[in-house]
Structure 1
Amino acid sequence: MPLTKPNQQLRRDLKSIAFNLEQHCIDLGRLASRLGDEDAIALMRLVGGLYEDVDKLAGYAEEVKAGRIVRDRS
């Protein structure tokens, strides 16, 4: 069964947010490589948490695709 327009938009939004977040993680990783050891480690811990959020958003987008998450038409 094809996705409704609201669900298509929800999936696109989730994937777009995940992509943007992942790009920010890449940029932060580059920045961390220029910092001192302690600061770099702290920043990379934060980036690790952001990558977990990227994975969650991608998972939600797949749930929308599978029809387990549905957006109302309102």
Structure 2
Amino acid sequence: MPTPKRTEKLQIMLDDEELKVIDDWRFEHRMPTRAAAIRELIRRGLVTEEIEEPDTEGKSTSDFRIEPE
């Protein structure tokens, strides 16, 4: 099955901690690019049902923290 053509470009702002977590995950999983890693993380986030609902009461979801393993 061919890969669908990517026609939309998204721009997001990340802080240094967020970028480090993504890059560490990318290298650990041998993803070819940062963009590929982010697409895979989004895909995984969308298919999982073990995630709590986001707080949508007008707050930004930018408070991104990962607990160390």
Normalized against structure 2, the TM-score is what? 0.30
Write 1 or 2 for the structure with the bigger share of helix. 1
Larger Rg: 1 or 2?
1
| TM-score in terms of structure 1 length | 0.29
